[in-house]
């Protein structure tokens, strides 16, 4: 009724009225009335696992919903979970409480995961850090790119920091097309000589690494992610780069801290910002960012620099493994419900036209042969039943289990399934991550980045921490000297001090040197300037 009234009046008076703008505050008010007032349930009711977690929850309660919409914090110390806290709601207009398995968009935190995949392929002998990319990715050759090596991309010194920026301005949804994005990045032209300058590759980092990963492995990006990280760490269903259909109900929705948004104007003219951001209005870019990355088109796309979706407990477990050189920590405590790794990683959606089930029984072992028909049917319906089959794509035996993925035996091994206790075997993997020691000639001297990870110095210049932050405040990092990792995920993007306050408190309580990037006066990395710049 109101729509026709506004339309009729504007037509009669010959004026243009955007009646949706008039109706918006009333719609927002109606939605906001559904949100519960702050109460004790704002913090998810899970067991407190340490003194530092108790103090952290008090800090979060003091910060309240003025600064926090929804948030997760998880930390490991010496391989054990000491913090697993979640607070708030899924979105500004979604009053459902955040759960331990809620999936948060974490923007450039994704780069640290993608970098881990590249290092995993190097560790497996499928790739070399000093390898020229055009040698493994034929389409990448030409246009002055024949000198770009894998380590140039990881160190943000390939000269392709602005690659795809023209497309992003004219057709941002093109990044939803994985194959076309790879083709476009393969045709790009570097702006600086490889290895000469470290200029942050905001989005191009992901497609460059993604192309290298697929061409070096001969596998799809998602398959390498699952094989290298998801399955060994048992974090199924809680870490994605491009979500599958079926997990939408667990997604946190992004919003912007409008009070802090106006402060972004101050950084728009900084010389270290890429030209693609300097040319536009930083306020409009930040506002549009949440709208764009809340869409299912973007969430489902493979954008390895920016659209990771994960829980803090999955991210913290990843960095707990990296802190020990790839050694996988003990299982995440089951007191956090649902249990980490209990989700089917790729949900099976019901078919439109249900078909009659046809049971196909296959002998699993000699014990099964002795079961009667009734017991066998019971086993088929249980979660412990393993169905052995031969993959149609190759001759390697594969195992499909109740988690909905296939484990393909390594052709270089004996063909048997093995328990994985390490992601990396390189004893100098920490040096590789941070560009130290034997790897120091692969990084730009005095740069903020090692090989794929942000290096976190302490106030004394000591370097024992690395990780990656994302726009808005989400972050993941580890300290190798103290066997410590922490992850923070947020859905209210801001320049405020929430993440900084959390990390300051936890490091202080554990007597761990504070990474300078999270101090008041420390120099911030490029994503921190956009997210925490405080």
Residue linked to tokens 């000297």? 481
Mean pLDDT of the 374-381 span:
36
Residue in 116, 338, 388 with CA at minimum distance from that of residue 237: 338
Task: Look at 129-143, 286-300, 392-406, 411-425 and tell me which has the smallest mean pLDDT.
Answer: 392-406
pLDDT at 78 over 50: yes
Mean pLDDT of the 9-32 span:
54
pLDDT at 134 over 70: yes
Mean pLDDT of the 181-188 span:
96
N residues, the chain: 534
- 55 vs 522: CA distance, rounded Å: 24
What does 219-255 look like in DSSP terms, one character per residue? Answer: S-HHHHHIIIIIHHHT-TTSEEESPPTT-GGGB---E
CB 52 within 8 A of CB 506: yes
- 1 vs 8: CA distance, rounded Å: 11
Residue in 471, 492, 458, 529 with CA at minimum distance from that of residue 60: 492
For residue 370, the model assigns a pLDDT of 42
Mean pLDDT of the 39-52 span:
84
pTM value? 0.80
**Angle at which helices 109-123 and 312-323 cross, to 10°:** 40
pLDDT at 529 over 70: no
Query: How far does CA 51 lie from the centroid of its chain?
Result: 28
For residue 282, the model assigns a pLDDT of 58
pLDDT at 512 over 60: yes
Per-residue confidence at 417, pLDDT binned at 50, 70, 90?
Answer: very low
CB 338 within 8 A of CB 100: yes
What does 452-470 look like in DSSP terms, one character per residue? Answer: SSEEEE-TT--EEEEEEE-
pLDDT at 228 over 60: yes
Residue in 531, 501, 492, 506 with CA at minimum distance from that of residue 519: 501
Mean pLDDT of the chain: 81
């Amino acid at each position: 009724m109101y729509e026709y009234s506004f339309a009729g009046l504007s037509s009669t008076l010959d004026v243009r009225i955007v009646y949706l703008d008039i109706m918006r505050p009333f719609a927002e008010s109606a939605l906001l009335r559904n949100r519960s007032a702050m109460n004790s349930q704002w913090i998810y009711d899970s067991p407190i696992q340490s003194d530092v977690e108790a103090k952290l929850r008090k800090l979060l309660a003091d910060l309240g919903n003025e600064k926090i919409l929804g948030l997760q914090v998880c930390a490991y110390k010496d391989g054990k979970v000491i913090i697993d806290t979640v607070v708030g709601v899924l979105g500004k207009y979604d009053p459902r409480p955040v759960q331990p398995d809620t999936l948060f968009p974490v923007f450039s935190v994704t780069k640290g995961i993608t970098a881990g995949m590249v290092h995993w392929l190097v560790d497996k002998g499928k790739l070399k850090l000093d390898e020229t990319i055009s040698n493994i990715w034929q389409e990448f050759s030409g246009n002055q790119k024949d000198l770009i090596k894998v380590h140039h991309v990881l160190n943000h010194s390939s000269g392709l920091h602005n690659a795809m920026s023209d497309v992003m301005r004219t057709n941002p949804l093109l990044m939803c097309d994985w194959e076309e994005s790879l083709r476009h990045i393969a045709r790009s032209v570097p702006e600086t000589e490889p290895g000469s300058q470290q200029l942050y590759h905001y989005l191009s980092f992901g497609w460059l690494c993604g192309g290298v990963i697929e061409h070096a492995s001969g596998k799809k990006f998602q398959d390498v992610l699952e094989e290298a990280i998801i399955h060994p760490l048992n974090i199924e269903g809680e870490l994605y780069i491009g979500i599958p259909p079926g997990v939408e109900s667990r997604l946190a929705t992004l919003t912007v801290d409008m009070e802090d948004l106006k402060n972004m104007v101050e950084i728009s003219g900084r010389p270290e910002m890429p030209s693609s951001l300097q040319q536009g209005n930083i306020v409009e870019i930040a506002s549009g960012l949440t709208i764009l990355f809340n869409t299912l088109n973007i969430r489902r796309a493979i954008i390895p620099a920016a659209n990771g979706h994960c829980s803090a407990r999955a991210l913290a477990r990843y960095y707990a493994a990296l802190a020990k050189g790839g050694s996988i920590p003990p299982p995440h405590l089951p007191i956090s419900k649902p249990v980490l790794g209990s989700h089917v990683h790729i949900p099976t959606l019901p078919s439109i036209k249900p078909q009659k089930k046809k049971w196909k029984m296959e002998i699993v072992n000699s014990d099964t042969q002795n079961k009667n028909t009734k017991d066998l049917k019971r086993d088929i319906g249980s979660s412990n039943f393993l169905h052995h089959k031969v993959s149609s794509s190759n001759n390697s035996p594969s195992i499909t289990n109740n988690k909905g993925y296939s484990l393909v035996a390594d052709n270089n091994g004996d063909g048997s399934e093995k328990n994985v206790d390490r992601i990396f075997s390189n004893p100098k993997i920490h040096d590789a991550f941070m560009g130290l020691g034997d790897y120091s000639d692969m990084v730009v001297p005095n740069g903020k980045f090692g090989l794929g990870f942000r290096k976190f110095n302490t106030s004394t210049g000591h370097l024992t921490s690395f990780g990656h932050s994302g726009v808005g405040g989400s972050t993941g990092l580890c300290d190798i000297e103290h066997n410590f990792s922490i992850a923070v995920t947020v859905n209210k993007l801001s320049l405020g001090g929430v993440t900084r306050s959390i990390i300051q408190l936890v490091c202080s309580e554990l007597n761990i040197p504070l990474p300078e990037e999270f101090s008041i006066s420390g120099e911030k990395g490029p994503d921190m300037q956009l997210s925490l710049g405080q």
